[in-house]
Structure 1
Amino acid sequence: MKPTLTLRQKTKQFLVILLPILITQISLSAITFFDTNMSGKASSTDLAGVAIGSSLWVPLQTGLSGILMGMTPIVSHLMGGGQAKKVAYHIMQGLWLALLLAVAILAVGSMLLPTILDGMKLDAEVRHIAFRFLSFLAIGIIPMFGYTVLRSFIDALGQTRISMTVTLISLPINIFLNYLLIFGNWGFPRLGGAGAGIASAITYWCVFIIAAIFVIRLKPFASFGVFRSFYGISLKVWKELLKIGVPIGFSIFFETAVFAAVTLLMSRFDTITIAAHQAAMNFASTLYMIPLSISMALTILVGFEKGAGRLKDARQYSILGIASAVALSLVTAVVLLVAGHYVAGLYSDESSVIKLTQHFLIYAIFFQISDAIATPVQGSLRGYKDVNPAFIITFISYWVIGLPVGYLLATFTGLGAYGFWVGLIAGLAAGAVLLLARLIKVQRPKQESPAAAASA
C-alpha cells in the first residue's frame, strides 16, 4: 500500500484491496452455501440438520475468529508506523492464541454438544444429522483458526489477491467432497448433511496448508520470516491482541449469534419452516459478504492511514466505503425482488420449501440496507482501533432490541415465524444508526501530526 492524494487514487487503491477480499469472502461463504444447498438437495431433513448444526457453530466460529482478526489493525499500524520488524513476532503470537482457542472449543464442545442438542427437542433424525455434522466439522477447527491469523497478516500488507487465490483453490475441493460424501457418488458412503461436515473440515486443512506455503515462499511475506524463528508465548502481545480482538470478536458473535438464536428458537416450528428459514438466511448471509468485504478493506486502509497520522485520508476512505456499500445494497434488493423464486429454487426441489423461502427473502431486503451502513462503519472503527463502543452498540441492538422484539412478535402476534425477521430488521436498523453516530464522533477533526501535515 502507499499514500494517496486524490479521490481517484483512493478509489483505485480501495478497489485493489476490496475486490480480492470480496471474491475471497464470497468463496468462503460459498463453503457454507454449498453445504446448505447440497444438503437441501438430499432432503429437507438433511437441510434442517445442517441448519441447526450451523446455527450452533457459526456464532462460535465467527466470534473466535473475530478475536484473531484483531491482528489486521495491529499489523496495519505496525506497517504504517514503519515497524515491519515486529510483524513476524506478532503473527506467531496470533498462531499460538489460535491453537489455544481451538483446543478450548474442542474440549468444551465435546462435553456440552449432546446436552445442548437433547434440550432442543428436535426430531430424532434432525438431531442425529446435526450431531454428526458438527462432530465431523470439528476436525477442521484448528487449521481454520490458524488460517484466520495468516489471512489477517496477508491482507494487512495489502496483498488481498493472495487470500483470494488461496480460497479459490480450496473451494472446488469442498464442492467435490460434498458431491462425494453427501450423495454417496463414486462408491463413497451416502452421509447426507453429515458429509458436508467432513468436506468442510478437509477444506479448512487445505486452506491453512496452502496459506502457510505462500507465507513461507512468496514475496513480500517471505521477507518477514514468520516461521523462520521459534517464539515462545508472550502474554504481553496476547494482551495487546485480546484488547483489540475481544471486542471485535464479541461484536461479531453478538451479530451472528442472534441469527443463530432465531434459528434455534424456530425449532418449535415444523421441519419445512426451519429448512426455508435457513435457506433464506443462508442466501442473505451470502449477500452480506459484500458489506463485510468493504468493512475488511476499510479496516486495512483506515488503519494504514491512521497509523501514519493521515486522519483526513482515513475519513475519506470511510466515506468512500460506506457509499459503495449502500449503492450495492440497492442492487441486491432488486435481485431479491425480481429473482426471489429462482433463488429459493437453488435450495430445494420441494414446492412448500421454495414458496416459504421466497417469502422470507423479502424480509432479507431490509437486512441488506442496514448492513450496508453498519458493517462498513464497524470496519472503519476497527481501523481506528475504536472497538469497545461498537461491541456495546452491537449487544444492545441485537440482544436488547432485535431478539426480544422478534420473540414477542413471533409469539404474541399473527406474524409467526416472520416475527423473528421483523425483530432482526429492527435491531439491525438501530445498530446502523448508533454505529454511524459513533464513527462521526471518532472522526471529528483533530490536529494532525506535523509530519502528516507537511506531506499533505
Structure 2
Amino acid sequence: MIGAIWREVPGIVGLALPIVMGLAASTLIGVTDSVMLAPLGPVPLAAVGLTGAVAVLFYAAIYGLLSALSVRIGAAWGAGAGLAIPGILRSGLALGALVGVGSAVLMAALWPLLPLLRQPEEVVGAMRAYWFWICAFLIPFAVLTVFKSAFEAVDRPWLGTAFAFLGVVINVPLNYALIWGIGPLPQLGLTGAGLASFLAETLALLAAYLWWRLAPSMRRLRLRRQVALRDMGVTFREGAPLGAMYVVETASVSVATLMIGAFGTVALAGNQVAQAVGGVLYMLPLGVAGAVAIRVAQERGAANMGALRPIALAAVVVAGVWLVAAAVALALEGEAIARLVTDDPEVVAVAAAIFLVFAPMQISDAVQSAMLGSLRGLSDTAWPAVVSAIAYWPVALPLGYALAHWGGMGPSGIWAGYILALAAAGVALTLRFWRRTALLGDGA
C-alpha cells in the first residue's frame, strides 16, 4: 500500500497544482481588491469582506454544482469514451450560464436584508454599487468554471489555470485605473474595484471561449453541436448535492463573518485580512479535492478499483504536508503576514489573533478535503452534504459563539469552533470512503 500511495503522489501533485492555482486566481481577485483598497481605510476593506462573505456562498454553489462536470468528463476520459465528452461540455456551458444568471439575480435580491443583520451602517452605506458588480461577476465566473472543469478532466489543467490568471492580470491595471482614476477616468474607489473585477472575468471568459472555438487542440471538445437536455439533467442531479454541501459549509463561514461584524468595523476589517490570506491557503486542499476527484473518476471509469484507496491516501499526504507548513507559518508569523495587507495596528492585532486559530484548522482540513474529493470521484455527494450540515451548523457555530462571547476569545473565538467540526467531518468522510471502496471490491 505504501508503494502504491507513493506512486500516486506525483499524479495528485501534477493535477492539483494547476487546479490550486486556478482556484487561487478567483480568490486573488478579491485579495487584489483588499490590497488596493486598503489605503482608503477600514470601511472599504470591511465592505469587501462583507460582500465576499455573501458572494462566497454563490461561488461555492457554482463551483460545487458545476464541478460534477469534471467527474463526468473524467470518467468518460478514463473509460476511453471520448465521443461523449463534447456533448457533456456543451450542455455544461448552457447549465453554467443558467446557474450564473440565477446566482446573480438571487444575490442581488439579498441586498435589502443587509441592514437587518446588524452590520456597521457606514460599511453598508458605502458598498451598494460594489455589491451589484460582484453579483454580475458571478455570470462569467460560472461559465469559466465549466471550461476549467473540462480542461482539468482531459489532462489539460494548465489551460484552465492560464485563463483564470488572465482575469487576475487584467484586474490589477483595471483596479488601479478605476479605483484611483487615470486620465479621463473618474476616481470610483470601491465601486471601481467591483467594476474592474467584472470586466476582468468577462475578458478571461471571452479568451477561453475563443480558444475552445479556434484552437486545433480543442477539436475533440467541440465535435457535437447540439445541447442535450439529458446531459444537463444528469450533471445537475450529480452536482446539486455537491453544490448544496459547499453552500452549507460556506454559509456557516458567512454567518461566522456576520457574527464577527457585531464586534465592530475594526473586527470585520481584521477578519477580512485573515480571510484573504486563509482563502488563498484553502485553495490547496480544495485543489487536492478536485484532483483526487478526477483521478478517482478516471480510474473508476477504467474499472481499476484497486487504485482508489492509494489515490485517496496520496491526496491526504499532499494536503497534509502543505497545511502543516501553513499552520506553522500562521502561528509564528501571523502579525508579519497581516502587515503585508494593512498597516493599521488594530486591524493587524485582530487578524493575528484569528491566524492563531486558523493554524490548527489547517491540519484537520487536510483529511476532510481529501476524503471529500475522493467521495466526489465516486459520485457520492448526498451523504457528505449531510455530514457538512451537521458538523458546521450544530457544532461549529454554537461552539464558536460560546467561545467568542462566554469564553472571552472575541472575534477569533468564532473560528475556534471550526476546529472540532473539521476534525469530526474528516473522520466521518474517511469511514464512508473506506466502506464504499470495500463494496466496489477495493479490498477490506
Residue 138 of structure 2 corresponds to residue 141 of structure 1: yes
Question: For 1:227-256, what per-residue CA distance to the aligned partner results, in whole angstroms no more than 9, with x for missing partners?
Answer: x6233x51x323311221011111111111
Say if 2:245 and 2:384, in contact at 8 Å, map to a contact too: yes
Q: Pairwise CA RMSD of aligned residues?
A: 2.0
2:218 aligned residue: 221
2:100 aligned residue: 102
Consecutive unaligned residues in structure 2, runs of 5 or more: none
Range with greater deviation from structure 2 (18-27 or 291-300) = 18-27
Q: Secondary structure at the match of 2:93?
A: helix
Distance 2:366 2:9 in 1: 18
2:252 aligned residue: 258
Work out which of the residue numbers 147, 151, 158 in structure 2 matches 1:150: 147
Q: Within 5 Å, give how 1:169-188 maps onto structure 2.
A: 169-186=166-183, 188=185
Say if 1:294 and 1:321, in contact at 8 Å, map to a contact too: yes
Distance 1:88 1:29 in 2: 29
Work out which of the residue numbers 46, 49, 55 in structure 2 matches 1:48: 46
Say if 1:49 and 1:128, in contact at 8 Å, map to a contact too: no
Say if 2:53 and 2:257, in contact at 8 Å, map to a contact too: yes
Q: Within 5 Å, give how 1:359-370 maps onto structure 2.
A: 359-370=353-364
Distance 2:82 2:181 in 1: 49
Distance 1:66 1:6 in 2: 29
Distance 1:273 1:53 in 2: 15
Say if 2:30 and 2:48, in contact at 8 Å, map to a contact too: no
Distance 2:23 2:138 in 1: 18
Residue 292 of structure 2 corresponds to residue 294 of structure 1: no
Work out which of the residue numbers 364, 378, 381 in structure 1 matches 2:375: 381
1:168 aligned residue: 165
Q: 1:354 to 1:87 in 2, by over 3 A?
A: same
- 1:149 offset after TM fit, Å? 1.1
- 1:445 offset after TM fit, Å? 6.4
Work out which of the residue numbers 33, 37, 40 in structure 1 matches 2:31: 33
- 1:416 offset after TM fit, Å? 2.6
Residue 391 of structure 2 corresponds to residue 397 of structure 1: yes
2:416 aligned residue: 422
Q: Within 5 Å, give how 1:1-400 maps onto structure 2.
A: 10-113=8-111, 115-186=112-183, 188-225=185-222, 229-231=225-227, 234=229, 236-400=230-394
Say if 1:50 and 1:194, in contact at 8 Å, map to a contact too: no
Distance 1:186 1:438 in 2: 59
Q: Provide TM-score, normalisation by structure 2.
A: 0.93
Say if 1:305 and 1:313, in contact at 8 Å, map to a contact too: yes
Range with greater deviation from structure 2 (96-105 or 391-400) = 96-105
Distance 1:110 1:54 in 2: 13
Consecutive unaligned residues in structure 1, runs of 5 or more: 449-456
1:453 aligned residue: none
Q: Provide TM-score, normalisation by structure 1.
A: 0.91
Question: For 1:151-200, what per-residue CA distance to the aligned partner results, in whole angstroms no more than 9, with x for missing partners?
Answer: 11111101111112212322211122222222334553333333221121
Distance 2:180 2:429 in 1: 44
Distance 2:372 2:244 in 1: 13
Say if 2:270 and 2:350, in contact at 8 Å, map to a contact too: yes
Q: Matched residues, percent identical?
A: 26
Range with greater deviation from structure 2 (5-14 or 206-215) = 5-14
- 1:388 offset after TM fit, Å? 1.2
Distance 2:336 2:45 in 1: 18
Question: For 1:68-100, what per-residue CA distance to the aligned partner results, in whole angstroms no more than 9, with x for missing partners?
Answer: 111110111112222211211121211222222
- 1:283 offset after TM fit, Å? 0.9
Range with greater deviation from structure 2 (21-30 or 253-262) = 21-30
2:434 aligned residue: 440
Q: Secondary structure at the match of 1:443?
A: helix
- 1:222 offset after TM fit, Å? 1.9
